[in-house]
Structure 1
Amino acid sequence: MTDQAVDTSSPAGSARTAGAGEPPDVMASQFFGRERELKSLQEDIERAGLDTLAGRKAPRARVLLIAGRPGSGRSALAAELAARLAEPGDYPDGVFRVALTEPGGERVPGERTARELLGMLSVAAPPGAGEDELSQMVREAFAPLRALILLDDAVDAEQVDPLLPDNPDCLVVATATGPLTGIPDVRPCTIGGMDAGSAVQMLARGIGQVRITVDPRAAQTLTEECGGQPAALALVSGWLAARPGASVADVTKQLLEHQEDSELPSASRPLARAFRLVHDSLPPAAASILRLLALAPAGTADAHTASALAGCSVSAAGTTLDDFVRSGLLRTNGAEPAQYELPGCLVPLVRAVLEERERPAEIQLARARMLERTVRRLQACRAVTDPEDSPARRKLAGLPRSLRFPDPGSAAEWLRVREPSLVAAARLAVRDGDLDTLARRLVAALVRALAVHRGTEEAAPVLYGLHGLVLDVAERRDLPREKAAALLNLADLDAGTGRTREALARYRAALDAGRAANDLYATGRAMESAGGAYAELGDFNRASDWYGRALAQRLGQGERADAARLYGRLGAVHTYAGRYGEALRDWRAAAAGHRRLGDLPAQARALSEAARVQEYAGRPQESLHTCREAVELARRAGDVRLQAALELRLADTLDRLGDPAAARLHRATADRLLVEEGSAYEIRSASIET
């Protein structure tokens, strides 16, 4: 075993080196050597840190850094280290891996990374929470654990530092191009190219030992031309594996004929030459698909994504993607249905050749096809949950079979697997700015699919970001109706997580946008929700003012059900403020409104609240009469649980009036009703939530 290592496919691979006589298998995950680096890293874990030497207890997790250029195998080395440490149970609470850089090279926002880690720990992250709050939640979640955190492709120390647990029992392994200046006591391990022995061994794994034995000197020269870089060697071995008649000398000659970009750093040129060799050897249709994969959101695609980008059939796209895996151009993540990922080191090269070979109009058309296909898949994902005879299912039956889902379970699994890419597609579409109509349709379809398959409460953190994207488009395109809707949705999520003042600001902004759009629904909802926010803050004067504005609009539009509900909300805030006369008037108005609508249970509840107000106001006899009226309404409505609750309230009132015998009779009636119903019921005051 040599002292170098590489994973020939997935960074998660950790299988040991195969024998030299094994048949070629470029798709197999195989790790070679790097024993010296692995031993050094493991020794660093046990080595005393600066705090220990100073006599202090280490306050945070130890950080090990694996530094190297993209394509050097740094992620594979980190994954192998994690696998070896996990095997003996050194970190029983698990290994948690997140990427800190987007496939295109942009840094992943800290808020998104923290949410991903919290999701792995099954910790609910509140929608709309900021990076600082989420980072604190990450540190608290890891505080009692003994876990290993792998932070892949860090840009700088500012990305890593907020995620470090305040727990010395945890270990953080980070990969980066350079040092993480600013993190104390970091343990760096810098890796370069592979040594000649490991590089030849990797080549033999891909093309078979015989072709190496025939011309060992050519194999040595080839590995030198590849700079010992695992990614470059994977590409040339894939090229040779697809051409059994070609010799190692042939590929070496062709590699030398490819002129690298003189502007590239010398360390990046071997990979660039290997990529150009493979790309230029592809059939035109396959080369076009490869180039267009640079447009795949989050660097991940499936057969449908590739089909839409290239304008070819799904089966042809799937076959081509599998060929790319065998060529070392793509890797799969093991999901079902298959998901394909461009290695991060190849993304800049693919994007460069895309811009060089494809016209901007063709690129934009490919993006539009991909977004349209994604919208249709999301619509099918949601529609499969509807009843068989529904219009959505009938429309779904008219779609091509490849776009449909056989059952809701498969649709939910597809949505779970593809969710990161779908959200990334929405972000990219909004950021692009030229496809706003498609972007809005995509976000709307994704929101509906998530709500159906995951529920709005569970999907709230994702929905918060999606509503924010809608708001961005609405503001850019000056669409006040969409702006009002997005602000209302965001405000509701803010209110649900206790950020009432932030919610209030958004409700008022939604009111302005609704007025600009002449959207009566949005303005009415914004005023009512603002009233609820003020009530939550304890400002009952402003709450009643906003409820009153909303009520006036509802009355003007003849919306009797909403008006009756708003009378109840007004009655509740007047009660909390101690304005019993106004409260009684509003509760009676609410009861009258429900009576006109024929809603006997709602009328009974409103009268019950009126009885409560009369009791607070020191009018027990009137309260008793009103409560009896409410009981009779509940009885007529056949609502046994409501009737039982009102009987108990009657009993409490009679006790306060000094009639315990009558109170006992009503309690006995309530007990009998509850026994018959088999459950208890509690009557609550009208809600003042938004």
Structure 2
Amino acid sequence: MADFVGRRRELKELREDIARTGLDTLSGRKAKSPRARLLLIAGRPGSGRTALAEALVREVAADYPDGLLRVRLTTPGGETVATERALRTLLEGLGLPTPPGACEDDLSSALRAALADKRAILLVDDAADPYQVDALLPDTPDCLVVLTAEGPLTGIPDVRPCTLGGLDTPSAVGMLARRIGDTRITVDPTAAAALAEECGGMPAVLALVGGWLAARPKASVSDTAKQLHDMPPGTDGPLGRAFRLVYESLPQPAQRTLRLLPLAPAGIVDSHTASALAGCSVAAAQATLEDFAALGLVRNAPDGLFLLPGCLAPLLRSLLETRERPAEVQLARARMLERTVRLLHSCRVMAETGEGKDVQDADLQEVREVLEGLPRALRFPDRRAAATWLDTRLPGLTAAATLAVADGDLDTLARRLVAALVRALAAHRGTAAAAPELYGLHRLVLDVAERRGLHREQAAALLNLADLDAETGRTQEALERYRAALDAGRAANDPYATGRAMESVGGAYQELADWHRAADWFGRALAQALARGERADEARLYGRLGNAHTHAGRYGDAMRSWRAAAAGYRKLADVPGQARALSEMARIQEYAGRPEESLHTCREAVELARRAGDLRLQAALQVRLADTLDRLGDPAAARLHRSAADRLLGDDPAACEIRSSSD
């Protein structure tokens, strides 16, 4: 940190505290389980508590070879970060998967298990709730947790807070010198000390005043100290006076841009966000943000981002509420969301079409046409640039979607934003890799749909959430959501949603090994598909119904279902599907004790598999033929078929497993 000075005494005490005996041991109480050493740095916003924590981490990093994990528990706007989101951030920092929809307890257990044999540092910034912190603490004394908060956190045992005040005068003057150079400090060291005193030694205040002086080479340090001293006293102390000094020196357009920055989700700002909020060009917004960074009003971050300091957020919100009309604020927010939607469309198109690739999909062609009509500033040069933008802006994009849904007055924009973000994530990361983020986005869609009575969107969101629940083994939760989706689909009179929900309910019962109910729901879905004349759905559902009947031991019903499935695939000219249906018929005939019929059906399936070029299915059917021939007393022919299977796929027996079409 370029602005970090002083604090040597605090750093020394914190380093000594790492090896010091815990409070539980000093008081004669034995800890229930080993815990990570926890260091708490407490101080008001703007006191430099985060800078001190980072300086400590740099000094002790060599003792913790497994690295550093960071998480922030409060947004610059003052909202508490959900514990689930904080746990996911730490697990992602370890490179571990985070199952979509996993509860807080499961994620906390996964984090503790991952850190059980590691020597790592957790930097937990801006904590407000001790219970939230407790869920993040590793159960190993080999890890170090460095925690920052505004004050002592009662409820966390064995922690000694290191409370910060202002910097000492020499350190405060040194911080000013880094901003404005040594000349003006050397000319009048007494005035520099007086200015540091007026700033209360607070690093955030010194950064603001230093930035203001740096922008005015002819302003004297003594005059600045007098100007601060003569300001009328306010409730915000030195920080409020310094902020007023800087704010009032800005031109009117920059003042308005600054007032609107609290609308930026999660306090993350880039040139597009500032441009949309203020209604100016992207280039002008970038120049304004760079000026703000030089003045200490925002902080530079990688990848062209700027962060709004948490200590300034209350002051800016107060200005926003008193200087801007509600209608103008809502318009600025709508402009920002609309700009975000257009950027997400551009990002998605770069993933799905790439450069020079032909577009076949009609929907994608329409989006591409929209992209071509966008200004050049909203386009990405290539897929990699689009993916980088999505990764670096994802926390802000997720926060934007959450805030838009919570607002309630911009539901149309919120729905468009969530849909665009879902499609961009799926295009760049794939549905499986993006599942944790998609789960939260589908919940947002469900919130809006329930609030607005949009039954069709409610059904779609419930189906998507239930699919993710089913994929992560929460079958009972998935079943409840599939049933709710069925009710919503019926309310919307949507045959696709109701049919999909019926089939999914059957699939959930199948996963629970309740074969009779599974067959019942597959039958209901099949009846609807037959009424609609959806041949592909009919063939698939006949197969799923046959599979359920097979497991339930109803071989006659299973044969009829698989025979109908084979006929459906034949009408569709789906040779692989027909071959698999015949292979299932052969399985059932074998179960029913009719090996000759099974042999005939299996040979027919082999021929179809050969026509389809499905080597895996051919090999599996050759093995089944061999087993059937063994039962019929023809071991020589059985050996020939096993040799054929080996030639097709080698000696891997797993490669010759026949799976039902439902799998």
- Settle same-fold status: TM greater than 0.5: yes
Root-mean-square deviation (CA), in Å?
A: 1.8
Q: Is 1:537 equivalent to 2:512 in the alignment?
A: yes
Amino acid at match of 1:358: E
In the alignment, what sits opposite 1:599? Answer: 574
Partners of 1:291 and 1:351 within 8 A in 2: yes
State the 1:673 CA deviation. 4.2
State the 1:660 CA deviation. 0.8
In the alignment, what sits opposite 1:664? Answer: 639
Q: How does 1:194-233 map to 2 (within 5 A)?
A: 194-233=167-206
Aligned counterparts of 1:475 and 1:504: Cα–Cα separation in 2: 19
In the alignment, what sits opposite 1:555? Answer: 530
Q: Is 1:180 equivalent to 2:146 in the alignment?
A: no
Q: Is 1:513 equivalent to 2:488 in the alignment?
A: yes
Quick one: which of 263, 269, 291 aligns to 1:295? 263
Report the TM-score when normalising by structure 2. 0.95
State the 1:665 CA deviation. 2.6
Q: Is 1:384 equivalent to 2:350 in the alignment?
A: yes
SS at match of 2:119: coil
State the 1:633 CA deviation. 2.3
Aligned counterparts of 1:74 and 1:386: Cα–Cα separation in 2: 44
Partners of 1:384 and 1:393 within 8 A in 2: no
In the alignment, what sits opposite 1:121? Answer: 94
SS at match of 1:186: coil
Q: How does 1:484-633 map to 2 (within 5 A)?
A: 484-633=459-608
In the alignment, what sits opposite 2:74? Answer: 101
Q: In the superposition, relative to structure 1, how do residues 271 and 683 fare at CA in structure 2: closer, same or farther (>3 Å)?
A: same
Aligned counterparts of 1:345 and 1:74: Cα–Cα separation in 2: 12
State the 1:249 CA deviation. 2.4
Indicate the larger mover: 363-372 or 53-62: 53-62
Q: Is 1:319 equivalent to 2:292 in the alignment?
A: no
Partners of 1:379 and 1:449 within 8 A in 2: yes
Indicate the larger mover: 42-51 or 578-587: 42-51
Q: Is 1:270 equivalent to 2:244 in the alignment?
A: no
Q: Is 1:477 equivalent to 2:471 in the alignment?
A: no
Q: In the superposition, relative to structure 1, how do residues 413 and 641 fare at CA in structure 2: closer, same or farther (>3 Å)?
A: same
Q: Which string of whole-angstrom CA distances, capped at 9 and with x for unpartnered residues, describes residues 303-356 of structure 1? A: 0111011010000100110111110111111x22x1001111111111111111
In the alignment, what sits opposite 1:460? Answer: 435
SS at match of 1:65: strand
Q: Which string of whole-angstrom CA distances, capped at 9 and with x for unpartnered residues, describes residues 231-273 of structure 1? A: 0111011111111111112222332343343xx3xxx411011
SS at match of 1:163: coil
Q: Which string of whole-angstrom CA distances, capped at 9 and with x for unpartnered residues, describes residues 7-40 of structure 1? A: xxxxxx2xxxxxxxxxxxxxxx232111111111
Amino acid at match of 1:161: D
In the alignment, what sits opposite 2:329? Answer: 363
Q: In the superposition, relative to structure 1, how do residues 640 and 80 fare at CA in structure 2: closer, same or farther (>3 Å)?
A: closer
Partners of 1:50 and 1:185 within 8 A in 2: yes
Quick one: which of 412, 422, 426 aligns to 2:387? 412
State the 1:581 CA deviation. 1.1
Aligned counterparts of 2:297 and 2:229: Cα–Cα separation in 1: 20
SS at match of 1:384: helix
Aligned counterparts of 2:169 and 2:198: Cα–Cα separation in 1: 11
Partners of 1:430 and 1:436 within 8 A in 2: yes
Aligned counterparts of 2:168 and 2:647: Cα–Cα separation in 1: 86
Q: In the superposition, relative to structure 1, how do residues 36 and 636 fare at CA in structure 2: closer, same or farther (>3 Å)?
A: closer
Report the TM-score when normalising by structure 1. 0.92
State the 1:70 CA deviation. 0.5
Q: Is 1:47 equivalent to 2:28 in the alignment?
A: no
State the 1:681 CA deviation. 4.6
Q: Is 1:332 equivalent to 2:307 in the alignment?
A: no
SS at match of 2:351: coil
State the 1:679 CA deviation. 12
Partners of 1:384 and 1:396 within 8 A in 2: no
Amino acid at match of 1:144: D
Q: Is 1:243 equivalent to 2:211 in the alignment?
A: no
Aligned counterparts of 2:610 and 2:188: Cα–Cα separation in 1: 96
Q: In the superposition, relative to structure 1, how do residues 680 and 74 fare at CA in structure 2: closer, same or farther (>3 Å)?
A: closer
Amino acid at match of 1:682: C
Amino acid at match of 1:340: F
Amino acid at match of 1:434: D
Q: Which string of whole-angstrom CA distances, capped at 9 and with x for unpartnered residues, describes residues 373-398 of structure 1? A: 00000000011133344224343232
Aligned counterparts of 1:508 and 1:645: Cα–Cα separation in 2: 37
Aligned counterparts of 1:466 and 1:440: Cα–Cα separation in 2: 10
Q: Give the count of matched residue pairs.
A: 652
Q: Which string of whole-angstrom CA distances, capped at 9 and with x for unpartnered residues, describes residues 479-532 of structure 1? A: 001100000000000000000000000000001111111111111110001100
Q: Is 1:111 equivalent to 2:79 in the alignment?
A: no
What is the identity percentage for the equivalent residue pairs of Structure 1 and Structure 2? 69
